[in-house]
Structure 1
Amino acid sequence: MQRHPFTPLLCALTLLLAAGCTPTVQIAAPSEPITINLNVKIKHEILVKVDKEIDTMLDENSELF
C-alpha cells in the first residue's frame, strides 16, 4: 500500500486547525480595587437611633421645654 505524498502535510494541517478551535478562558484581576460604600446606610441607622432616643428623652422630661 502506497501513501499519498500529501498525507503528513494534511495530518499536520488538521492538527493545527483542531488546536486553533479549542476554547480558552482568561482570568484577569481588575486594575482598581472593588470598593463598597456603606456610609449612607450606617449614617441613616445612627440618625434614626438618635432620633428615637431624643424623642424618649423629651417625653420623659417634657418640663424642660
Structure 2
Amino acid sequence: MTKHQGRTTLVVMMKRLAIGLGVVTGGCVNVAAPDKPIVINLNISVTQEVVYRLDNEAKSLIKQNPGIF
C-alpha cells in the first residue's frame, strides 16, 4: 500500500464514521413548542416634544380673537 492509498483509505474511513455517528445520533434531536407562552417584557418610556411655530398673521389673529380657542 502506498502513502497516497493509506491517506485515501483513512479519509474514506473517517467519512464513514462521521456518517455513522450522524445516523446514530439523528434521533436525539427533538424540536417541540413550549407549553407556556413566551413572555417578552418591554419597559418602554415614550416621550414626545411638540414644537410649534405660528405665522405672524396667525399670531395677530389669535390676539384679536382670544376666545377662538
The two structures share one fold, judged by TM-score above 0.5? no
Tell me: higher relative CO, structure 1 or 2? Use CA pairs within 8 A at least 6 residues apart. 2
Higher normalized helix content (fraction of residues): 1
TM-score (norm 1): 0.37
